[in-house]
Amino acid sequence: MNEQNDKRRIQSMVYSRQLSSTERAYVVYNECCPPFLNQLFWEGTGYFDLPKWREAVKIASEANPGSRVVVKGITALARLVDTGKIPPVIEVDGSSWDGLGPEGAPARLRETLNPFEGPTSEVVLIHGNPLRVVFRTMHATMDGRGTVTWVEDIFRCLRGEDPLGSDSRITEFEIAATFQKKGRKGPVPEFIAPTGMPQGDQPGVIWRRRRYPGRYSNVIGQVAILLAREAWRYQEGKFRVAIPVDMRARVEGLRSTGNLTNLIYAEISPSTTPADVSKDIKRQLEARHDGMIYWGDRPIRFLPLWMLKKFIVSNIATKNRTGRYPNSGVLTNMGRIPVYSGGGFEGKYTWGIPPGQEYSPIFIGMCNGDDDMTLIYSMPNVLASRERLETLMEHIQQGLIASNTDAKKG
């Protein structure tokens, strides 16, 4: 009897949390279009001390057990449970890679992680000029800000500091319920893509990174308008962007590695200005729309993964056939991510690859430097073909530079 009680007590101490409906869908996305991961890069100089990195990851991951979880259980009973296993630290060669796209990248970056067996997080030290460190986490277990929480503690440990730690078990549904009681209906797939109709049948996504000199204001508003104009070059139709919002700000002092992001939306018309988009975002945040969860999301917890996968694959096929989507794209601005250093590595710049998925026509991640800005574009191959993505990137660059020049003149 005492042994059974001890076993129950130990099990109750192990970190675990509910696998939310959103995270359940992300597990399937990783099967449909791998790798569905957060991949955050720190570029810099110095050297890699592999034993130091492995020790730092060990300590930081103990303080942030969300970095060691795997999926256990079925349907609504599924949970993310700490395995206690240390996320791996791997060294690879990247001396011939420019970091501007997948071409020439280390093969490791094309591999995905396993949500059921683990690891669901890893650190890859990439040798080259510059040195690059990439922190790879499954989106089914962490969002971008959650990944940064883990990364911050790894660098603290590299510098000999104590990790801050995070062991919150709260889900996005639970945090949303603390400040918003209203929900919303699922979106109707009626919005057009920025690059016209899908062409071809090549699966998967392509990503590109571009770095623009100068400082830019209201980047989401500007890029939303530029994307809409690009879409209307191909066809008439409704245009709407989805904007992820980190709900951690709604709970003072909350540190979590989990998925605590929800979406708000901005619909664009030919008369909409970047300032209008900014005002709309502010209005929605004041009205706490970031806490409005889709009513239809909750039943996802009860669907077997094979059924959910069948539904998602069918949905993607329908969108590719009709050219109409729940959103025209996703725009996320990570702002100024701290440039961490430690263990002989001196960080100089940060950026990340958005999780690849074919559900949205485009995903653009943004991050700011001291005197420049980086945009990372991710797009399904059927929408990027025939150099349409390259054309879109060129037009966005021209629009941002022109807007920045006009602002300086004003």
Walk along the chain (410 residues) and give the pLDDT tens digit of each residue: 444 444 434 445 899 999 999 999 999 999 999 999 999 999 999 999 999 999 999 999 999 999 999 999 988 899 999 999 999 999 999 999 999 999 999 999 999 999 999 999 999 999 999 999 999 999 999 999 999 999 999 999 999 999 999 999 999 999 999 999 999 988 899 999 999 999 998 999 999 999 998 888 899 999 999 999 999 999 999 999 999 999 999 999 999 999 999 999 999 999 999 999 999 999 999 999 999 998 878 788 888 999 999 999 999 999 999 999 999 999 999 888 889 999 999 999 999 998 988 989 999 999 988 888 999 999 999 999 999 999 999 999 999 988 876 555 55
Token pair of 195, please?
């690059």
Integer-rounded Cα radius of gyration of the chain: 21
Amino acid (1-letter code) at residue 45: T
Token pair of 401, please?
């530079």
Token pair of 158, please?
């590299």
Q: To which residue do tokens 């209906």 refer?
A: 185
Q: Which of 2.40.50.140, 3.40.1360.10, 3.40.50.720, 3.30.559.10 would CATH assign to domain 2-409?
A: 3.30.559.10
> Any residues with CB less than 8 A from the CB of 274 and at least 6 apart, and which?
218, 221, 222, 224, 225, 403
> Any residues with CB less than 8 A from the CB of 377 and at least 6 apart, and which?
207, 208, 209, 210, 362, 363, 364, 389, 392, 393
- pLDDT score, position 109: 97
Token pair of 133, please?
């460190």
- pLDDT score, position 310: 95
Task: Give the residues across from 338 on adjacent strands.
Answer: none
Residue ranges of alpha helices (H) inside 33-169 are 50-63, 144-158
- pLDDT score, position 406: 56
Report pTM.
Answer: 0.94
C-alpha 354/C-alpha 51 separation (Å) is: 29
Amino acid (1-letter code) at residue 25: A
- pLDDT score, position 409: 58
